[in-house]
A and B are shown apart, each in its own frame.
Chain A
Amino acid sequence: MRSYKLIVAFLVLSLLLSSSVYSAPVTIRWSTWLSGESLAEQQKLIDMFEKKYPDIKVKVETTPYSEYTAKLFTQHAAGNAPDVMHTTIYFADEYIRKGLLLDVTKYVKKSIDFKKYVKFSPIYVREGKIWGGLETHNQVYPLFYNVNMFKEAGLPTPNDYYYIKKKWDLQTFLEVAKKLTRDVNGDGKIDVWGTYVQSGWETGWFPFVLLFDGEWRYPDGGTSTVVDVTSRKVTIDTPKVVDALKFYIGLIQQEKVAPLPGELAIMGTPLEAKKVAMMIDGSWMMNIYKARIKDFEWDIAHPPKGTVLRTHIDAGADGLVWAGTKHPEEAWKLVEFFLGEEVQMAKARSKLVIPVLRSALYSKEYLTAPPRHIKVIHEMIGYSVPIKPFEGMLEVLDGMSAELEAAMLGKKSVDEAIKAAVEVGNKILGLKR
């Protein structure tokens, strides 16, 4: 009997000892909309994280972009959201307002050296607290152009105009676009255009509004695009915005240097299909063009100066910590990892996004062509204005963009389209739903 008790005591003791030495790894969940190659790249980084922190395992959960936020909201409501969530700026604002994100101020203060980073967007900071994390990358909206087309036409490139001639403004842009708009095969129809204007707001008309100094600004900085957030009225009919829209739509209708929306029959973008010489687009296109364009040289340049030289900057985050996580320390470690050297350098190499860590942003890898004038990105960050979303922003902008499309297609005058956009925008802002 005595020996039996001794054996039991021994077993209990050894169990206790072993559990103190070995503890099972904590599994945290990370959600993303990435797929295909981008997901494979991100998975490599997750593998690196798991190697670095062997006591933390990361379960990757993917959902298509169009269903991503709805699923997160449902998971949050059910108390089962992922510990860390991949986010765009437009989602992040929504998440903060709806209480999805953890107050990570103490973690940020403990582990982030702000001097090492470019200025963080104000989006994740509310009432003096930092929610969920910080952005891990940015996007700006440069002018992409086909270098070969400029050479063949014997024209200086936009970078020549900007850096050498010191005159790269909307007037010059228009003159150059006219020279580059051509009927190449002589069938009486234009088949290469000087430029291309997109019909949405983000890469379409809003970059022009900024160049005309027409955006609405928060008193403490940042833009809400063309909505006065205090009075909740759209400002798309203010004189500067009207000038911007007239210029932007005029590129199609009056100047005929850009094709109608949807007119081109192409795979991919008009630039890579060699249908247009230059167009404003998101900086993420650098990654796409780097991989796809092999038969001509492409580059980026500053957008042409209007009354001002300005672009918008969008902050995105690979991961923000969920308010209901049971593993805040481990979740924060993943966010910290996304802000760290390994991930930031991977971003520098891919050029899909703009790293926020200065050492990555100015690294040799990021500066390696293509594009040759990558420094444009650094300079654009300097004069960029952060987007600060507000409730219903995408809905209002989608509604107004649809009305402006009528003018782009020549079905209405610009003034009529703006009038309709004001009406629709204000109605949407005022809807009780």
Chain B
Amino acid sequence: MEKLRSKVAKKEAIEGFLFISPWLIGFCAFVAGPMIASLYLSFTKWELLDRPVWVGFQNFITMFFEDPLFWKSLYNTIYYTFLGVPLGIIAALSLALLLNQDIKGLSLYRTLYYLPAVTSGVATAILWVWIFNPNIGLLNYFLSLLHIQGPRWLGDPGWAKFSLVIMSLWGAGGGMIIYLAGLKNIPIHLYEAAKIDGASSWQIFWNITIPQLTPTIFFNLIMGLIGAFQTFMNAYVMTQGGPVNSTLFYVLYLYNNAFQYYHMGYASSMAWFLFIIVILVTLLQFRLARRWVYYETQR
């Protein structure tokens, strides 16, 4: 009987693997395979056509101690991440709270705010180049109505990074949808009980909404951090890393090394270093999450 059961289990396992084999093959060929290859390549000098030459830790030594643009690109990325992600969370959460009200035309507002999240990235980038234009751009026009002389935004090395942070808020609709789902999940009786107890709106928000939403905030924080560390397209399309390398983000510099200058081994080293940074930051967040994320099922 035992033998028969193990035979059935074995058969089922084989069938299971066969069912998932298209994904499995795809994963091995296009994800795991290239990842392992790039790990090897990160210890080589490889310019696409020559054979990779083993150089040990030379790429990492060059990265950390010699390359003038490596630290610059890392700094730009950290600036963008640590400013953009919290602002993104605040913007998306605020939108979700506003659109969680019982107002007329709610679906329309939700669609409008979500629309940028599904708009083509390149089209959005071109639109924002105009918005940021120092002379005829929408942003400086509004500032001029308040008698404020707007900066040169993307044209000023001191403002360009911050401009891209502002632009990243344009996609807050994506996060908003997730927060809305989280808000809908909060049991209504908690609010009713708080109201009976005489809690103010602020107290309700701070002591019920936020704690109940912490898993959603945590999810958006993790996804936001991973996404921000890999930011690429807006700088690639709008600024090409300029002015004066102020928007040369890590992945843009990695891309340049790989596909403009063909330092594939070096680019692989950069990719693995970024992977380590993202893993460490994510692990740190998971560790910190124990202190502030509230899961209803974990009492």
Contacts and interface: CB of A to CB of B under 8 A. Distances in A.
A395 B260 CA distance: 8
Interface of B: 45, 47-50, 55, 58-59, 61-62, 66-69, 130, 133-137, 152, 154-158, 241-245, 248, 257-263, 265-266
A66 B255 CA distance: 11
Nearest to B267: A433
Contacts of B47: 98
A392 B68 CA distance: 15
A409 interface: yes
Given A70-B48, A405-B243, A394 B261 contact: yes
Nearest to A411: B157
Interface in A384-433: 392, 394-395, 399, 402-403, 405-406, 409, 411, 423-424, 427-428, 430-433
A260 interface: yes
Given A99-B49, A409-B155, A199 B242 contact: yes
Nearest to A76: B49
Contact of A73 (B48, B135, B137, B266): B48
Contacts of A402: 241-245, 248
Contacts, number: 93
Sorted from nearest, which 10 A-B pairs have the closest CB atoms?
A262-B155, A433-B266, A73-B48, A265-B133, A98-B49, A265-B136, A433-B263, A406-B244, A395-B261, A70-B259
A263 interface: yes
B111 to A, nearest CB: 30
Contacts of A430: 66
B8 to A, nearest CB: 45
28 contacts: A66-B259, A70-B259, A70-B262, A73-B48, A74-B48, A98-B47, A98-B49, A199-B243, A260-B155, A261-B243, A263-B134, A263-B135, A265-B133, A402-B241, A402-B244, A402-B248, A403-B244, A405-B242, A409-B243, A411-B244, A423-B68, A424-B69, A427-B67, A431-B62, A431-B66, A432-B61, A433-B45, A433-B62
Contacts of B154: 262
A379 interface: no
B244 A409 contact: yes
Contacts of A432: 45, 55, 58, 61-62, 66
A427 B68 contact: yes
B155 A263 contact: yes
Interface in A39-83: 66-67, 69-70, 73-74, 76-77
Given A265-B133, A427-B68, A431-B66, A409 B59 contact: no
A77 B155 CA distance: 41
Interface string A201-224: 000000000000000000000000
Nearest to A404: B244
B167 to A, nearest CB: 16
Given A405-B243, A433-B62, A73 B157 contact: no
Interface of A: 66-67, 69-70, 73-74, 76-77, 94, 98-100, 199, 260-265, 392, 394-395, 399, 402-403, 405-406, 409, 411, 423-424, 427-428, 430-433
A77 B157 contact: no
A64 to B, nearest CB: 11
B236 to A, nearest CB: 9
Q: Is the interface of A mostly helix, strand, loop or mixed?
A: helix
A406 B157 contact: yes
Contacts of B158: 411
A94 B261 CA distance: 10
Contact of B265 (A261, A423, A433): A433
A346 to B, nearest CB: 31
A392 B260 CA distance: 10
A67 B62 CA distance: 26
Contacts of B245: 402
Given A265-B133, A395-B261, A409-B243, A433 B49 contact: no
A157 B180 CA distance: 65
A207 B252 CA distance: 28
Contacts of A100: 49
Contacts of B257: 433
Nearest to B70: A431
Contacts of A76: 49
Nearest to B50: A98
A77 B49 CA distance: 6
Contact of A260 (B61, B152, B258, B265): B152
Select the residue from B48, B49, B69, B244 with max chain A CB neighbours within 10 A.
B244
Contacts of A99: 49
Contacts of A265: 130, 133, 135-137
Given A261-B243, A263-B152, A423-B68, 8 more contacts: A100-B49, A262-B152, A399-B69, A402-B244, A411-B244, A431-B67, A432-B45, A433-B263
B134 A405 contact: no
B282 to A, nearest CB: 28
A424 B244 CA distance: 12
A431 B257 CA distance: 12
B164 to A, nearest CB: 14
Contacts of A424: 68-69
A261 B156 CA distance: 10
Nearest to B266: A433
Given A394-B260, A409-B155, A262 B243 contact: yes
Nearest to A191: B135
A134 B262 CA distance: 25
B232 to A, nearest CB: 13
B155 A261 contact: yes
A399 B133 CA distance: 25
B281 to A, nearest CB: 26
Nearest to B265: A433
B155 to A, nearest CB: 4
Contact of A67 (B48, B155, B259): B259
Nearest to B261: A395
A405 B156 CA distance: 10
